[in-house]
Amino acid sequence: MNSAVVGTGIRFPYQIDSFTGSTQESGDLDRIRGSIFQILQTRPGERFMRPDFGCKIASLVFEPNLPVLKALLTHHVTESIGKWEKRVALQQVTVNQPIDSPHRIDIYVEFLVLNTQQIGNLVYPFYREVVA
């Protein structure tokens, strides 16, 4: 894979290499995964110079766990990654609630890196509160 196309840089989240004491770097697919995590973890309005950057899923934390919630999560994730991560084409976004964790919803994201045609994926855990 050509790293000049995908890019390399500081790992997200920021980490120190315990052996060398230097900043850990990431490249290729890890960098794109980190970018997608940043998009999903940022609420619109948090970035000073880019108030529309981010994903609206944080506004759904207190919504009841109904099929509408899963559809809204899928919609917001698809919309935000499509808008902010131009290096990938989304292949599939799937929302699933683990049986053993009623407070967590896993968002599975599968994407295709456009310049290298490599398929990548990630699981984003969305934590919510139970509404009685």
**37 pLDDT above the threshold of 70:** yes
| Confidence class for position 64, pLDDT limits 50, 70, 90 | confident
Q: CB–CB of 65/132 below 8 Å?
A: no
Residue 10: beta bridge partners? 25
Query: 89 and 114 in contact (C-beta within 8 Å)?
Result: yes
Q: What is the mean pLDDT of the chain?
A: 84
Given a cut of 70, whether residue 61 has pLDDT beyond it is yes
pLDDT at 130 over 80: no
Q: What is the pLDDT of residues 68-113, one digit of tens each?
A: 999 999 999 999 999 999 999 999 999 999 888 888 999 999 999 9
> Does the bond joining 125 to the residue before it have cis omega, within 30 degrees of 0?
no
Whether pLDDT at 132 is above 50:
no
Domain 3-127 has what CATH class?
alpha beta
- Integer Cα distance of 24 and 21 in angstroms: 9
The burial of 41, by beta-carbon neighbours within 10 Å (0-12 exposed, 13-18 middle, 19 or more buried), is given as middle
pLDDT number for residue 21: 67
Residue 55 scores a pLDDT above 80: yes
Least confident of 55-64, 81-90, 106-115, 123-132: 123-132
